[in-house]
A and B are shown apart, each in its own frame.
Chain A
Amino acid sequence: MATLVLDSGAATAKIGYSEEQVRCVTPASPSGSGHRVQRSFHSPFGFSYSVIPNCQFRSKTARLKTFTANQIDEIKDPSGLYYILPFQKGYLVNWDVQRQVWDQLFGREMYKVDFSETTILITEPYFNFNSIQESMNEILFEEYQFQEVYRTNAGTLSAHKYFQENKSELCCLVVDSGYSFTHIVPYCKGKKMNEGICRINVGGKLLANHLKEIISYRQLHVMDETHVINQVKEDVCYVSQDFYKDMEIAQLKGEANTVMRDYILPDFSTIKKGFCKPREEMVFSGKYKTSEQILRLTNERFAVPEILFHPSDIGIQEMGIPEAIVHSVQNLPEEMHPHFYNNIILTGGNTLLPGFRDRVYADVRSLTPCECDVSVLLPENPVTHSWEGGKLLSESSDFMDMVVTRDDYEENGHSICEEKFDI
């Protein structure tokens, strides 16, 4: 029996078999299939997993073809890339697209899933709607015919990994800042505490769209270039440690402006990927003589990620991450507070922004009483942290008691799933 762990995010699916599979069944490593897979990792333990776009694409140049998931690598010219996403506001709504992505992931080209011999561990958003949960059961059991299913939240898996690695800790607070939104979720002794869950409707998608909007207004029309601007965001944006000081620096002229960067946009013929011009080659007055398209970024670099810390900067009347952490902890029993502040874990793609951890630490520190210890952990790989947690969970001895088998489902339907899964 193999276990497939799938952390199904709105932007990327984190997928791979747990260790068992590698030991006893034919290896299904996607890298062996002759296809280039985006960011495939090999850990020292010999298992492999990959982070794959959980969506479909259409390109201006390759008409008539819709590219699914890892087929993005086949697109030679991704300018004006058109996205078809199965998720809307973080919830799975477009099943047609999701199934095509899953067909690709489970199929011959990638994970070669033998459904009758496979258990799937899959993640869902917090407070997932009932009808989505039912559709999910139906599709996994009836369409794909998985033998066993375990559905859970990504944060639960992160917390599981954290408790496994820090056995003496009683509580932890998972901050999951992903593509659609940011969640703050408290866990006590492995149990999710619903009354403390707090959602900020700011995620990576909003940041990239906002960056796109301001660049288009101030410099160059890039509204159609989500793919390119997302890369700009990942390459140049950072979280400021002293916002108003950085604003002052960003206003300076010439060499003194240490925030300013010139970003060379890709043209997808000679420049495949955009990059920052090295500081020594930057021209501070006048124009570049070269023909490349260049974006000049100053306050955009830190004002965009700042939305995570102050959503009200663009008119979203919600708390920022540090304030929401405190708000979330305040909703919980007082004797637990110090434990939560001392065990904050950051997961999700936005936490990769340089300076994110330090800023969360500094802000939470200033908002909490001085007798509380504050500790903020950024795992080595915050994007796949919950996938790793899922792998750990699937290898634990009581995992088989947690799953719903196909026989159970056929006997009891959705109610057994509702009973056993904590969504």
Chain B
Amino acid sequence: MGEKKREHPGRSQDGQRRVLDQATRQRRLHRQLDALEKDNFQDDPHANLPQLKRLPQFDDNNESAKKKKKTRGDHFKQRFRKNFQALLEEQNLSVNEGPNYLTACAPPSSLPQRHFCTVCGFPSHYTCASCGARYCCVPCLSTHQETRCLKWTV
């Protein structure tokens, strides 16, 4: 059993092929599309820098430090710090009449979806039975199974 599992990474204990359901496939797609919205994939190069905070001095009293912080916070008021999702919810567009951000979005195309190999990008005719990804030939299928099918290594 153990050997068999090693041979077929896509198969579960009882030798059955693991098949992702529709919801999981959708979730994967969403995750991929969300990744395309990211500004950076690497970490902020300043993130791990040692904090350059001035060490507290004995003659510093707590009060002045607090005051300083407050005036600065006042400068950038709370409502200037909202992300896109919060702003969209605040706008409460679903109950609004007339054209707005939500209604302006282009509807789905009436043309049939085209399919391309997820490995090489050329038109594909086959679908991976486990995860639903498209592939065009046997070499691409094996690359797909080694790298992205059911797990995400690259």
Q: Does B33 contact A (CB under 8 A)?
A: yes
B5-55: which residues lie under 8 A (CB-CB) from chain A?
Answer: 29, 32-33, 35-42, 44-46, 49, 52
Q: Which residues of A contact B98 (CB under 8 A)?
A: 194-195
Q: Is there contact, CB below 8 Å, between B108 and A319?
A: yes
Instruction: Tell me, rounded to whole Å, the shortest Cβ–Cβ distance linking B109 to chain A.
Output: 5
Are A198 and B44 touching (Cβ within 8 A)?
no
Q: Is B70 an interface residue (CB 8 A)?
A: no
Distance of A290 Cα from B21 Cα, bound (Å): 48
B90 in the interface, Cβ–Cβ < 8 Å? yes
Are A131 and B90 within 8 A (Cβ)? yes
A88: which B residues are within 8 A, CB to CB? 83-84
- Is A201 in contact with chain B by the CB < 8 A criterion? yes
Which A residue sits closest to B118, measured CB to CB? A217
Q: Which residues on A sit within 8 Å (CB–CB) of B148?
A: 217
Binds B, one of A31-39, A79-87, A262-270: A79-87
A317 touches B109 (CB 8 A): yes
Task: List A residues 76-114 near B (Cβ within 8 Å).
Answer: 80, 82-85, 88-89, 91, 93-96
B120 interface residue (CB < 8 Å to A):
yes
Interface residues of A in 246-265 (CB under 8 A from B): 247, 250-251
Q: How far is the CA of A299 from the CA of B123 in the complex (A)?
A: 10
Asked if A82 and B42 make an inter-chain contact with CB atoms under 8 angstroms apart, the answer reads yes
Cα distance A298–B121 when bound, in Å? 9
Q: Provide the A367-408 mask, 1 if CB < 8 A to any CB of B, else 0.
A: 000000000000000000000000000000000000000000
Could you tell me the distance between the alpha carbons of A242 and B64 in the complex, rounded to whole angstroms? 69
B126 sits at the interface (CB 8 A): no
Q: Are A216 and B42 in contact (CB under 8 A)?
A: no
Indicate whether A117 reaches chain B with its CB closer than 8 angstroms.
Answer: no
Asked if B122 contacts A323 (CB within 8 A), the reply is: no
- Whether B127 is near chain A, meaning CB under 8 Å from some CB there, is no
Interface residue tally on B, bucketed by range: 35 or more
In the assembled complex, the CB of B105 is this many whole angstroms from the nearest CB of chain A, namely 5
| A112 nearest CB across to chain B (Å) | 24
CB-CB under 8 A for A127 and B101, given A216-B154, A299-B121, A323-B109: yes
A224 touches B114 (CB 8 A): no
Whether a CB of chain A sits under 8 angstroms from the CB of B58 is no
- List CB contacts (< 8 Å) of B71-125 with chain A: 76, 79-84, 87-88, 90-91, 98-101, 104-111, 113-114, 116, 119-123
Q: Which residues of B contact A224 (CB under 8 A)?
A: 40-42
Given contacts A82-B40, A226-B40, contact A129 B88 (CB under 8 A): yes
Contact B107 A319 (CB under 8 A): yes
Chain A's closest residue to B116 (CB) is A313
A17 to B46, CA, bound (A): 36
Q: Which residues of A contact B41 (CB under 8 A)?
A: 212, 223-224, 226
Instruction: Determine whether the beta carbon of A217 is less than 8 Å from that of B154.
Output: yes
Complex Cα distance, B70 from A164, in Å, reads 51
On whether the beta carbons of A129 and B87 are closer than 8 Å, the reply is yes
Smallest Cβ-Cβ distance to A195: which chain B residue: B99
* Interface presence of A200 (CB below 8 A): yes
Q: Which of A193-245 contact B (CB under 8 A)?
A: 194-195, 197-201, 205-206, 209-210, 212-214, 216-218, 223-224, 226, 244
Binds B, one of A58-66, A154-162, A166-174: A58-66
Q: Which residue of the partner chain, among B52, B104, B110, B111, contacts A127 with CB atoms under 8 Å?
A: B104
User: A114 to chain B: closest CB distance in Å?
Assistant: 23
Tell me the complex Cα distance, A300–B101, Å. Answer: 32
A327 touches B35 (CB 8 A): no
B87 touches A93 (CB 8 A): yes
A370–B40 alpha-carbon span in the complex (Å): 46
Contact B122–A251 (Cβ < 8 Å)? yes
Q: Which of A60, A66, A198 has the most CB of B within 10 A?
A: A198
Pairwise interchain contact A60-B109, C-beta atoms closer than 8 A: no
Take A217-B154, A313-B116 as given contacts and tell me if A198 and B45 are in contact as well, using a CB distance cutoff of 8 Å. Answer: no
Chain A hits for B36, CB < 8 A = 205-206, 209-210, 213, 314
- The one of A85, A95, A195, A298 that contacts B76, using a Cβ cutoff of 8 Å: A95
Interface set of A (CB-CB < 8 Å, partner B): 58-60, 63-64, 66, 80, 82-85, 88-89, 91, 93-96, 126-127, 129-132, 135, 183, 194-195, 197-201, 205-206, 209-210, 212-214, 216-218, 223-224, 226, 244, 247, 250-251, 298-300, 303, 310-320, 323-324, 327
Listed from nearest, the 7 A-B pairs whose CB atoms lie closest are A224-B42, A95-B80, A318-B106, A88-B84, A223-B41, A194-B99, A127-B101
Given contacts A129-B101, A299-B121, A318-B107, 19 further A-B contacts (CB under 8 A): A59-B45, A63-B46, A91-B87, A131-B79, A198-B104, A201-B106, A213-B36, A217-B154, A218-B121, A244-B123, A251-B122, A298-B121, A299-B122, A312-B114, A313-B113, A315-B29, A318-B106, A323-B110, A327-B106
